[in-house]
Amino acid sequence: MTTLLPECVLPGCKNLVELIGHPCPECVTAFGPSLRVGEPMTADEIADRDAAVHAAYAEQQRTLRIADGREPKRNQLCWLCEQRRTCTKQPGGWECEACRGVV
For the stretch 4-13, pLDDT in tens is 789 999 998 9
Q: How far apart are CA 2 and CA 99, in angstroms?
A: 44
Whether 31 is covered by a domain: the verdict is no
Q: How far apart are CA 31 and CA 18, in angstroms?
A: 19
What pLDDT is stored for residue 1 in this prediction?
47
Whether 44 is covered by a domain: the verdict is no
pTM score, whole prediction: 0.55
Whether 10 is covered by a domain: the verdict is no
For the stretch 43-98, pLDDT in tens is 999 999 999 999 999 999 988 888 887 889 999 999 999 999 999 988 889 999 89
Whether 62 is covered by a domain: the verdict is no
The domain of 93 spans: 72-103
Whether 9 is covered by a domain: the verdict is no
